[in-house]
Amino acid sequence: MSKSNTLFIGLDVHKETTDVAYVSDKLDDRVQYHGTINTNLRAFNKLLRYFKAKANKLCVTYQAGPCGYWLYRHLNSHGIECWVVAPSLTPKAPGDRVKTDKRDAMTLARLARTGDINSIYIPDSCDEAIRDLIRCREDAMLDYRQAKMRLKSFLLRHGHPCTGRQNWTEAYRRHLGAIHFLEPAQKIAYQHYINIVTEQFERLQHLNIELETLAQSWRWYPLVQRLCVLRGIRFLSAVTLVAELGDLRRFNHPRSLMNFVGLTPSEYSSGTRQRLGAITKTGNTHARRILVEAAWSYRFSPKVSEEMQKRLQGHSAKLQNLSWEIQQRLCKRDAKLRARGKEKNKIVVAIARELVGYIWTLHCRLTHKVRQ
């Protein structure tokens, strides 16, 4: 029996099991269901040996999910083409109301043969490692905030409300140390809350130091430094944006990047009627949050503060001038939208959307590495 030229394999990957379906590149062949295997390297290696005997080339497709990209890297190490597709971008018939693992695997194999699905961007292992550390820091920040809220709630219940902004400084620690409780149980509970906040704060500071150290040897560190010339974007914001967005050269136009972070308005138009809705909020939520937070800083008049001057040091005069032009442009646009009576949240989104275009420019135009 002759081998097929190309065999398209669809995988529905789960934590413990994976359903497998395949189809050849011949249009008259039907999709075949292979069965269910265990989700481990031994089972996948056995599966690959079986399919290599049936075709000259293998093309494996599976949907992105909580299992990560280890399977993609394992297949690439064996020289096998692999596509990782987004579940939200997988075509589905409106009347299809039946969903099973078997049908999902067969659908992926069929769509791969017809070319109706595209693979998402896969970061390399180093980029993913930096991104994991950044998200670990974000989790530590949330744990730190929750610990402080529990402490403040405890103090509020017992007549010691916290007013204003409290930073975890030595002066504030002395203030907490001056608060006493008569009941032994309350003393224990109070000290427990303080210890948790202290521990979370030290853990957060440790992660900040580790991130700054590891980022200096990262291949995208020059881009991180370049983004720090923008108003509202410091080191943590810049490294988060670069880690979450990945290689920006894969976007041929800044509007493609705007669509990726979900800052473009949705649209439902028909005939002569045009209707624009809220932003799509698709793509990377971490990057969109950082961009919106940075956009709030353009509410104020253009200014090169002392902290901004330190960030501009070491950069070329061309980049410093571009930073000032961007700041003037966005601050002027913010003022113009406020004068027109626009809602402040819509203004911030508009500024964040335009800021995305300048980020694309800083990466692609100044480095002269735009993908042709």
Percent of the chain with pLDDT over 70: 96
Q: Under DSSP, is residue 349 helix (H, G, I), strand (E, B) or coil?
A: helix
Structural domain range at position 176:
125-215
Instruction: Tell me what pLDDT residue 372 has.
Output: 41
DSSP-derived 3-state class of residue 317: helix
**CB contact set of 337 (below 8 Å; sequence gap of 6+):** 346, 347, 350
Contact of 327 with 294, CB cutoff 8 Å: no
Is 327 exposed, middle or buried (CB count within 10 Å of its CB: 0-12, 13-18, 19+)? buried
Residue that terminates a domain, selected from 183, 215, 247? 215
Count of domains forming the chain: 3
Per-residue model confidence as pLDDT tens digits over 137-184: 999 999 999 999 999 999 999 988 887 666 778 888 888 889 999 999
Q: What is the DSSP string of 77-116?
A: HTT-EEEEE-GGGS---TT-----HHHHHHHHHHHHHHT-
**Domain end marker among 215, 246, 275:** 215
Helical spans, DSSP H, in 170-220? 170-177, 184-215
What CATH code is carried by the domain that includes residue 110? 3.30.420.140
Between CA 241 and CA 237 the distance in angstroms is 6
Give yes or no: residues 79 and 156 share one domain.
no
Residue 3 has pLDDT above 80, yes or no: no
Q: Does the structure show a pLDDT above 80 at 369?
A: no
Per-residue pLDDT tens digits for 330-361: 999 999 999 999 999 999 999 999 999 999 98
Q: Which of 107, 102, 103, 57 is nearest to 85 (CA)?
A: 107
337: tokens are 């939208």
Residues in the chain: 372
Average pLDDT across the chain, whole number = 91
Q: Are 278 and 222 in contact (CB under 8 A)?
A: no
Last residue in a domain, options 164, 197, 215 = 215
Mean predicted confidence (pLDDT) in 267-284: 86
Residues 23, 140 share a domain:
no
Which one-letter DSSP state was computed for residue 274? Answer: -
Question: First and final CA of the chain: distance in angstroms?
Answer: 44
Token pair for 20 = 């497998």
